[in-house]
Amino acid sequence: MKKTLSLVLAAIMLLGCLSAVACSKATYEIAIVTDVGQLMDKGFNQGTYEGAKAYAEENKKTYKYYQPANGSNATDEDRIAAMRQAINNGAKVIVTPGFLQETAIKTVAKDNPEVKFIFIDGWDLGLDNVVGVSYKEQESGYLAGYAAVMEGYTKLGFTGGGGGSNPACNRFGFGFVQGAAAAAKEKSVELGIKFSFQNGASFSASDALQSQISGWYQNGTEVVFACGGSMFDSVKAAAATYENAKIIGVDVDQSYESDRVITSATKGLAASVKLMLAKFYDGKFEKGGVTLGAAEDATGLPTDTFSTLKTWTLAEYNALYAQIKNGTLVPDSETPTDCNSAAWLTDWLTKGGYTNVTLSFE
């Protein structure tokens, strides 16, 4: 009898402990799962985190970030583990930046249909609880190209990452040419653009890229749009040996990295994450893919450091931006899947009547 009683008591106590733990266990509704590398990377992870944090704090939601194990060598397994941990901690919505998340999202989203996934810089994965958010990079590129020509530069360069097969880089590059061509037509100046995907296949810095870009600066190119991660570093090294060489940055405001940066073609990660979270909490979560652009303040040039542009004013920028925003000006978003040929761009320029642009493809 005593034994039974003590057993029952022990069982009750055990249950009590467990339930106490369960109750006191904090839950976090919004989870941010980074892809590779550090949270505060001044790029994708940071932008996503800041957006989610801002939304959560404004709307009194709980949030937590999860960094997959193994840092920059994180594998799909690590990302899957991080997402499962987030769901165990009560996540209702998981925000994940970067194309590397595809496999992890597919795996975890199928097992957890009640949890929603926001796939930043991603695409439609064909799952009911996943939304892929992509950007109209061509708008940022357009604005950057327009700004460069309005600033008085007539010899431009574009070096892109991904070897011509990365859709985001291609859209940035083609937008850049479109914007520059439009501004040149307006000002009726002759424009020379060098365009290359040659040394950026792995998005990394190299002496080869440095040599190529030095060659451009040597032969009169005034400003180079460095479109692809660490490629910026090599363009910066090339610019260091030419007094007046200028650079256009990408993704985030890169004027903090070099005084040669005149502007950056950015993606408003924080703004778009806030927007998507608001949609989720308003019950307007829609599966599939959304493409955000100027209309959602998700593309553009950084206005905080606009003073790096000397001639073109913020007011003029705002006027142009408003045109893109309300749809009167639509930069062409179409790009071929493989951009290692100038044919498409040349055709586009001819069709648009941009006769004062000389495009040299490398």
Partner 1 sequence: MTFLIQQTFICTIPLLIVAMAGMFAERSGIINIALDGIMIFGSFGGALTVYAFIKSGLFTESPQLIYVIAMIVSAIAGALFSLLLSFSAIKLKADQTIAGTAVNMLAPALVLFVIKIFFMQDKLVMPTLPGGKTLNFAILNTELPEFLQAFFSRAYISTYIVLGLYIALSVFLYKTKTGLRLRACGEHPQAADSVGVSVSAMRYLGTTISGALGGLGGFIYITTSAGGTAAGSVAGMGFLAIAIMIFGNWKPVGIALGSFLFGLLRCIGSAYASIDINGDGVFLLQEIGLPMYFYNIIPYAAVLIVLMFTAGKSRAPKAEGIPYDKGMR
In the complex, the residues that contact partner 1 under the rule CB under 8 A are 37-43, 71-72, 198-199, 204-212, 214-216, 218-219, 230, 232-234, 236-237, 240-243, 255-260, 360, 362
CB atoms within 10 A of CB 39: 13
Are 28 and 93 in contact by the 8 Å Cβ rule? The answer is no
> Comparing C-alpha atoms, which of 321, 34, 288, 53 is closest to residue 179?
321
Measured between alpha carbons, how far is 32 from 345 in angstroms, rounded to an integer? 38
> Comparing C-alpha atoms, which of 139, 94, 100, 138 is closest to residue 121?
100
CB of 111 to partner 1, least distance (A): 30
CB of 254 to partner 1, least distance (A): 10
CB of 42 to partner 1, least distance (A): 6
Which residue intervals of 188-337 are DSSP H helices? 207-218, 231-240, 269-281, 314-325
Which residue, 38 or 313, is less far from partner 1 as judged by CB?
A: 38
The pair phi, psi for residue 348, each rounded to 5°, is -60, -45
Which residue, 134 or 214, is less far from partner 1 as judged by CB?
A: 214
Which residue, 4 or 307, is less far from partner 1 as judged by CB?
A: 307
What beta strand segments (E) does the chain contain?
Answer: 30-33, 63-66, 93-97, 116-120, 130-135, 155-160, 191-196, 223-227, 246-251, 261-267, 288-292, 299-300, 357-361
Which residue, 43 or 132, is less far from partner 1 as judged by CB?
A: 43
Which residue, 326 or 360, is less far from partner 1 as judged by CB?
A: 360
The pair phi, psi for residue 217, each rounded to 5°, is -60, -40
CB of 3 to partner 1, least distance (A): 55
Which residue, 167 or 215, is less far from partner 1 as judged by CB?
A: 215
CB of 89 to partner 1, least distance (A): 23
Are 159 and 237 in contact by the 8 Å Cβ rule? The answer is no
Contacts of 215 (CB under 8 A, 6+ apart): none
CB of 82 to partner 1, least distance (A): 16
CB of 94 to partner 1, least distance (A): 22
Which residue, 210 or 263, is less far from partner 1 as judged by CB?
A: 210
